[in-house]
Amino acid sequence: MKKTQLRLLGVALSFAALTFTSCGSDEPDPIVPDQPQVIEDLNNGIMRGALDQDFILNASTAYSLSEAFTVQSGATLTIPAGTKITAEAGGTEVFLAVLKGGKVNILGTAANPVVMSSVNPAPGDWGGVTICGDATTTAGVDAEAEVGGFKYGGSNDGDTSGSISYLVIKGSGAQINSESQYNGLSLYAVGSGTSIDNVAVLNGSDDGVEFFGGTVSASNIYIENCEDDAIDWTEGWNGTVTNTYISNTIGGFSTAFEGDKVNNNPKFVNVTAVSTVGGTALQFKKESGATITGLSLTGYDTSIDMRDGGPLANVLIDGVAANPSNNYTNPATVDVNSFTWADSDLTPNTAILQGTVSGTVTLDPAIAYTLNSAYIVQADGELIIPAGTKIEARDGGTGVYLAVLKGGKIDIQGTADNPVVMSSKDANPGDWGGLTICGDATTSAGTNAEAEVGGFIYGGSNDADNSGSITYLVIKGTGAQINSESQYNGISLYAVGSETTIENVSVINGSDDGIEFFGGSVSVTNIYLENTEDDAVDWTEGWNGTVTNTYISHTIPGFSTAFEGDKVNNNPKFVNVTAISTEGGTALQFKKQSGATITNLYLEGYDKQIDMRDNGPLSNVIIDGEAADTSVDYNSGTQVDVSGWTWKNASL
């Protein structure tokens, strides 16, 4: 009886339960397993932790890389075009790493690159991107990376760690210790199955891209202002990099290239490296080397440095063993304008002047030019510089100058309102080599003489030779010293002929002469010379032109003279000369048999006005119609009025 009652009660309860369930209006919530924290964070725009499953970022999400983020073996991280990842400025604690066996696919485009950057990308803010692969490296199998202690290296040279296209990295290079730093992009034993194309690294505290062994290749690499090496390799990397542009505009960086350890002969096709701060271009340590084709360097103090005395034959440049005496200042082989997607911090309207000018080249006054090394107008060339053009010369001493060779021409078209300016940044005396022009007029040095600067050839028999025209030009910071006897001047005129036009020229803060004539017959009108540390106007080798309206100012001690004439006297003429010194000194000095005819001379503040240095006859120097007199104060002439020469102090 009790069993029957219990069975009936169970049936009733079951029926009630079924009735209650079927009559309800809401389905019960499904049971959802908890998400891994790393996925939950990614869904909230936070990148941190270890990703052990495939994941695709959302380009419309602003991601914050707040800590270490690693892609584990077997997982793939996909980053679509246009994705922005902001790295916190956490130094070595903040980085993105793809571990051996993991993959990353960065799918940027030129219109929508992927950008990884700290907020205000200062060098060393974060650790950059590290990828570890399974290719060979001289460090062995499962070597330990200097960053993160990650494992890398194996025997699969065709290994793939994914692909990178149009990636911009800024503010990387956090320092681990005195020997180890993160780079912008570190590639540890990455294999040739990995695709890397269009990568830009800017403002890194260490290297831009470094290869630790492996076989991966890359193309279209842009490196700007990385404070150590732009591209570094070691451990037997032997891939190829095609199209590299390197720019350094801040002091203290190491090199454009640094190769280290064994030489597995990596290849570089088309390399253009530009420095405005000198430095070493290509450095090779131990036995390292490379094969480079299409190399263009500008602005470096040293082109090739075999740091440990390795053989130059290990470095082949355009099919020939590297030559440290070659500056490799060839025309650019990579166009910086192809990297507009790189979000460069440099001013877009800038250009580098280097190499040679053949044919006619016209500069653009809307562009800020940097004269990084020698810029030479060849015999068949003409350089046209329109009004308002500004050329900043690197503080590179004798390695930086503008020269017009015999048979070439320069056309400087400045105006009073828009003069052409050539100056170093700080306009300090001796910063650079100035302007040199070589012509075909006569000189006592003979035909095809060799100039003391540059070894340029000058001189002939055509006194009416035309090397072009110069109007309204301001030059500052020149006079780099070659040796104890030879220096560049502000303007050096070697056998320049009378058909050349030079008028309205200002030379300020020169370490040597303001303007020097080496023979020739050229004349000059309106010249302003301020604080040139040797002679303001110097001539030799029988120059016989005329200078009309000269104003010379000396307000610093230690200069030589206002005028210095030397050697034979072909009686050059000066009309209207004003020279004023607040530091004493000698005004007019004549060596050997030199002389001149001067009308309307005004001198002020000199300890000595006339110095016949080698006792040449005073009758060689005619001042206002009479032979020079060492007892006369020449202060009665009418001063040259430069109050309207507002152009004379124009700056960059």
Write down the pLDDT at residue 355: 81
pLDDT (0 to 100) of residue 481: 81
Whether 650 and 474 have beta carbons less than 8 Å apart is answered as yes
Query: Average pLDDT for residues 511-533, to the nearest whole number?
Result: 97
pLDDT computed for residue 277 by the predictor: 84
Would you state the pLDDT for residue 30? 57
Spatial separation of the C-alpha atoms in residues 621 and 573, rounded to whole Å:
10
Neighbours of 253 (CB within 10 A): 21
According to the model, what pLDDT value does residue 585 have? Answer: 95
- Map residue 490 onto helix, strand or coil: coil
User: Over the range 171-205, which residues count as b (16 or more CB within 10 Å of their CB) and which as e?
Assistant: bbbbbeeeeebbbbbbbbbbbbbbbbbbbbbbbbb
Q: Based on the number of CB atoms within 10 Å of its own CB, is 401 exposed (0-12), middle (13-18) or buried (19 or more)?
A: buried
**pLDDT at residue number 329:** 83
Give mean pLDDT, residues 377-403. Answer: 94
- Evaluate if residue 147 carries a pLDDT over 50: yes
* Distance, CA of 574 to CA of 352 (rounded, Å): 38
Mean pLDDT of 37-48: 96
Please tell me which residue, 151 or 352, carries the higher pLDDT value: 151
- What is 344-643's CATH number? 2.160.20
Is residue 348's pLDDT more than 50?
yes
pLDDT band for 350, please (50, 70, 90 cuts): confident
pLDDT at 8: 31
C-beta of residue 173 within 8 angstroms of C-beta of residue 206: yes
Name which of 27-31, 61-65, 286-290 the model is least confident about: 27-31
Strands (E), 350-476: 350-362, 368-386, 390-393, 401-404, 409-413, 420-424, 435-438, 449-450, 457-458, 468-476
Tell me the domain boundaries of the chain.
37-216, 220-229+239-343, 344-643
DSSP for residue 206? S
Token pair 């990828």 in the structure block, residue: 131
Q: Which pLDDT tens digit goes with each residue over 6-37?
A: 333 333 333 333 333 333 445 555 555 578 99
* Residue 548 CA, distance from chain mean position: 40
Mean pLDDT of 147-155: 94
Question: Residue 393: CB partners within 8 Å, gap ≥ 6?
Answer: 370, 371, 400, 422, 423, 424, 431, 432, 477
Mean pLDDT of the 578-584 span? 97
Give me the chain's average pLDDT, please: 92
Q: What is the pLDDT of residue 9?
A: 33
For 467-492, what is the mean pLDDT? Answer: 90
* Residue 606, pLDDT above cutoff 90: yes
State the CB neighbour count (10 A cutoff) for residue 486.
12
At which residue do the structure tokens 């419309």 appear?
Answer: 60
Of 38, 43, 108, 103, residue with least CA distance to 67 = 38
Pairing of strands 368-386, 409-413: parallel
Which pTM value belongs to this model? 0.70
Element (H, E) at 537: strand 537-540
pLDDT value for 26: 53
E strand or H helix that includes residue 297: strand 290-298
Res. 4 pLDDT band, cuts 50 70 90: very low
Model confidence at 337, pLDDT cuts 50, 70, 90, reads confident
CA separation for the pair 51, 57 (Å, rounded): 12
Q: Mean pLDDT, to the nearest integer, of 325-353?
A: 83
> In the structure encoding, which two tokens stand for residue 587, read together?
């005004």
Average pLDDT, integer, range 161-189: 93
CB atoms within 10 A of CB 340: 10
pLDDT at 178: 73
Amino acid 426: pLDDT: 95
pLDDT for position 31: 53
Q: How crowded is residue 112: how many other Cβ atoms within 10 Å of its Cβ? A: 15
Q: What is the pLDDT of residue 347?
A: 58
Residues 529 and 514 sit within 8 Å (Cβ to Cβ): yes
Q: Is the pLDDT of residue 545 over 60?
A: yes
Under the banding of pLDDT at 50, 70 and 90, the label for residue 1 is very low
Asked if residues 134 and 99 have their Cβ atoms less than 8 Å apart, the reply is no
Identify the pLDDT of residue 486: 73
- What's the longest Cα–Cα distance across the chain? 156
* pLDDT above 50 for 57: yes
> Scanning the structure block, which residue is given the tokens 């009733």?
12
**DSSP 8-state code for residue 341:** G
pLDDT at 453: 83
Residue with tokens 């030379």: 507
pLDDT at 591 over 50: yes
What is the model's pLDDT at position 14? 37
- What stretches of 235-289 adopt beta strand conformation (E)? 240-248, 255-259, 267-275, 280-284
Cα–Cα distance measured from residue 124 to residue 92, given in angstroms and rounded to the nearest whole number: 8
Least confident interval from 294-308, 436-450, 462-476, 583-597: 294-308
Q: Are 534 and 507 in contact (CB under 8 A)?
A: no
The arithmetic mean of pLDDT across residues 361-365, rounded, is 94
**Residue 431 confidence (pLDDT) above 50:** yes
Report the 10 Å Cβ neighbour count for 146: 16
Query: What is the rounded CA–CA span in Å between residue 129 and residue 85?
Result: 12
Name which of 411, 405, 487, 413 is nearest 448 in CA terms.
405
As a whole number, mean pLDDT of residues 610-638 equals: 96
Q: Which residue has the tokens 């290079």?
A: 173
Percent of the chain beyond pLDDT 90?
Answer: 82
Supply φ then ψ for residue 139, to 5 degrees. -75, -10
Q: What tokens appear for 573 in the block?
A: 């003429």
Cα 591 to Cα 535: distance, rounded to the nearest angstrom: 13
